[in-house]
């Protein structure tokens, strides 16, 4: 698994030419299925709008780069309106309050952990900033002294516009589990 914030900023390289096309600037997530739809790439040409790389066309994700077969894997959003309709940017999910169906605020989404092999969100990193309380006071979810944990994606009922709703019995797992689960592998390795 890989944290989206660790993925952002990685260069996207083509296998056929060894050329840098840009850097990962975000991730599109299907808020209904929890699938990662595409990686958003800020092109090297600052005057060009960002492009998307559908997850199926990502050949590999390593600790230093994201690999695609060639530049034709980059899709203009205007040419694929279905991509935007199906997904929400990770930046639209980070910072949302996480509220259990019982009405208890568990914290705020600090990051999403994704499995690039399966193309799914596996867990949500939830933080409760020191001094913050209820829904609406997002603050810095990754602030020093923030408590929190991991919320398995299976415990998420809804990713809404204003909140992530967790199942009534949802509990956060300790953060240490994130590092144990990802030991020895980066982001699912190669895809082929």
- What is the pTM for the complete model shown? 0.82
pLDDT averages per 10-residue partition of the chain, 192 residues: 96 97 96 92 92 94 96 89 82 96 96 94 89 50 63 96 95 70 42 43
Q: Give me the pLDDT at residue 72, please.
A: 94
Structural class in CATH, domain 91-182: mainly beta
Strand partners, 151: 124
Q: Where in the chain is the domain with CATH 2.30.30.240?
A: 2-90, 91-182
Local structure of 87: helix, strand or coil:
coil
Q: Give me the pLDDT at residue 131, please.
A: 53
Q: Give me the pLDDT at residue 136, please.
A: 56
Q: Give me the pLDDT at residue 191, please.
A: 43
Q: Give me the pLDDT at residue 148, please.
A: 87
CATH architecture type of domain 2-90 = Roll (2.30)
């Amino acid at each position: 698994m890989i944290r989206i914030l660790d993925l952002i900023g990685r260069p996207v390289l083509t296998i056929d030419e060894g050329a840098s096309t840009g850097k990962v600037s975000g991730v599109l997530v299907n808020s209904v299925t929890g699938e990662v739809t595409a990686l958003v790439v800020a092109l090297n040409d600052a005057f060009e709008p960002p492009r998307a790389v559908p997850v199926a066309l990502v050949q590999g994700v390593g600790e230093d780069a994201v690999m695609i077969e060639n530049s034709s894997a980059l899709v203009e959003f205007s040419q694929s309106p279905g991509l935007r309709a199906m997904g929400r940017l990770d930046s639209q999910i980070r910072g949302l309050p996480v509220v259990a169906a019982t009405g208890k605020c568990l914290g705020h989404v600090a990051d999403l952990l994704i499995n690039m092999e399966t193309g799914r969100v596996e867990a949500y990193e939830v933080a409760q900033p020191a001094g913050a309380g209820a829904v609406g006071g997002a603050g810095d979810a990754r602030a020093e002294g923030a408590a929190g944990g991991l919320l398995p994606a299976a415990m998420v009922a809804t990713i809404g516009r204003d909140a992530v709703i967790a199942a009534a019995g949802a509990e956060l797992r300790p953060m240490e589990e994130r590092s144990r689960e990802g030991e020895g592998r980066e982001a699912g390795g190669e895809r082929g």
